[in-house]
Amino acid sequence: MERRKIIIDTDPGQDDAAAIMLAFASPAELDVLGLCAVAGNVPLSYTSRNLRIVCELCGRQDAAIYEGARKPTLRPQVTAEHVHGRTGLDGAELPEPMMSVRSTHAVDFIIETLRSEPVGTVTLCTLGPLTNVALALQKAPDIAPRARELVMMGGGFFEGGNITPAAEFNIYVDPEAAKAVFASGIPIVMMPLDVTHKLLTTKARVGKIAALGTRPAQVLVDWLAFFERFDIEKYGSDGGPLHDPTVIAYLLKPELFSGRDCNVEIETRSELTAGMTVVDWWRVSGRKPNAKVMRDVDADGFFALLTERVGRL
């Protein structure tokens, strides 16, 4: 496969960290142009700190990091310390980062990169709320046709929600941003809870990562041990769903996933179902498809890829 240029927009988050590790472990396939921190799981100050910690763990002190939105486009900030811990990256003790962030705002970095790179060559990979991307589209609508595609973790349909019965966290935090992105015309690949809930960090799977015996692998195991405890308690499962690495795994091995083109609309008016992704899987609405919605995944193949690549760090 040709080497793809990507921008990662993220709210680390232990599962975001796993996705970033997977990306950095795949330099032959992925050219990470920059990583943008957004407020999400924890406030921006922590997502920025955490992003730098992950880059340094991967030996990528050279990575270009940009700070983005401190709050959603319209609504008050909602965070998820109950899942990710006070810092958002609880579970492993690591030194405070030494590397700095770039002075350009993440929104301007997204705009400038899409304008300067050849049309159709840059893929946006979003692992958190879509605030930065929505602000970039609002400030520079001309960038929409310039993006190759946007691969995002977010939403849910037959699986429902996680932060509310109807809504998944990344969409729930900023439904207006998600609405704008799904209306932008950018080709979207959606990784919803219907996929990620089939990717449980079982003892056997995490054991294979631990068996790598490297420091990055051990840190990831410690992060996952913290991250999964909330979902194990909630679902009574062996391990918890691993969400964000699906975005990067799709770029590396799209054949691991299957889904179909669907219309996806975002609920922004109802208090009860705010942030719900209304996925027309059975095409009953007559609305035009605006996303490739994934529903199934080869779970063992996904974890084999993640484990093999993390072992390269």
Q: Is there a catalytic annotation at residue 105?
A: no
Map residue 97 onto helix, strand or coil: coil
Please select the residue that binds ligand RIB; options are 9, 15, 176, 267, rule is CB under 6 A: 15
Residues 84, 105, 197, 243: which is the catalytic one? 243
Q: How far is the CB of 213 from ligand RIB (least distance, A)?
A: 26
Q: How far is the CB of 67 from ligand RIB (least distance, A)?
A: 17
User: From the list ligand RIB, Ca ion, none, which binds 149 (C-beta under 5 to 8 Å, kind-based)?
Assistant: none
- DSSP-derived secondary structure letter, 174: -
Task: Please say whether the dihedral angle defined by the alpha carbons of residues 54, 57, 63 and 65, taken in this order, is positive or negative.
Answer: positive
Residues 231-290 that bind ligand RIB (CB under 6 A): 243-244
Residue 201 found at the interface with ligand RIB (CB under 6 A) = no
User: From the list ligand RIB, Ca ion, none, which binds 169 (C-beta under 5 to 8 Å, kind-based)?
Assistant: ligand RIB
Q: How far is the CB of 103 from ligand RIB (least distance, A)?
A: 26
User: From the list ligand RIB, Ca ion, none, which binds 263 (C-beta under 5 to 8 Å, kind-based)?
Assistant: none
Picking from 80, 118, 35, 111, the residue whose alpha carbon sits closest to that of residue 234 is: 80
Picking from 239, 235, 260, the residue whose alpha carbon sits closest to that of residue 303 is: 239
Residue 41 found at the interface with ligand RIB (CB under 6 A) = yes
**Neighbour count for residue 220 (Cβ, 10 Å):** 29
b/e code 94-133 from CB counts within 10 Å (16+ = b)? beebeeebeebbbbbbbbebbeebeeeebbbbbbbbbbbb
Alpha helices by DSSP H, listed for the chain, are 14-24, 44-57, 81-84, 106-116, 131-139, 169-173, 175-182, 193-196, 203-210, 215-235, 245-252, 299-310
As given in the structure block, the two tokens for residue 177 are: 């941003």
Considering beta carbons, is residue 231 or 244 the nearer one to Ca ion?
Answer: 244
Please select the residue that binds ligand RIB; options are 48, 50, 132, 162, rule is CB under 6 A: 162
Residue 68 found at the interface with Ca ion (CB under 5 A) = no
Stretch that binds ligand RIB, among 7-15, 208-216, 229-237, 281-289 (CB under 6 A): 7-15
Considering beta carbons, is residue 40 or 72 the nearer one to ligand RIB?
Answer: 40
x/- mask, ligand RIB, residues 117-156, rule CB under 6 A, reads ----------xx------------------------x---
Q: Which residues contact 144 (CB under 8 A, 6 or more apart)?
A: 137, 184, 185, 186
7: which strand partners?
34, 124
Residue 127 found at the interface with Ca ion (CB under 5 A) = yes
Residue 9 found at the interface with ligand RIB (CB under 6 A) = no
Residue 68 found at the interface with ligand RIB (CB under 6 A) = no
User: From the list ligand RIB, Ca ion, none, which binds 171 (C-beta under 5 to 8 Å, kind-based)?
Assistant: none
Task: Judge contact between 5 and 123, C-beta under 8 A.
Answer: yes
Considering beta carbons, is residue 13 or 68 the nearer one to ligand RIB?
Answer: 13
Q: How far is the CB of 312 from Ca ion (least distance, A)?
A: 23
**Amino acid of residue 41:** N
Beta strands across the sheet bearing 65-67: 65-67, 30-37, 4-10, 122-126, 147-153, 188-191, 291-297, 257-262
Please select the residue that binds Ca ion; options are 16, 228, 231, 280, rule is CB under 5 A: 16
End-to-end CA distance of the chain: 21
Residue 40 found at the interface with ligand RIB (CB under 6 A) = yes
- DSSP-derived secondary structure letter, 289: P
Active site amino acids: 243
Binding site for ligand RIB (CB under 6 A): 11, 13, 15-16, 40-41, 127-128, 153, 162, 168-170, 243-244
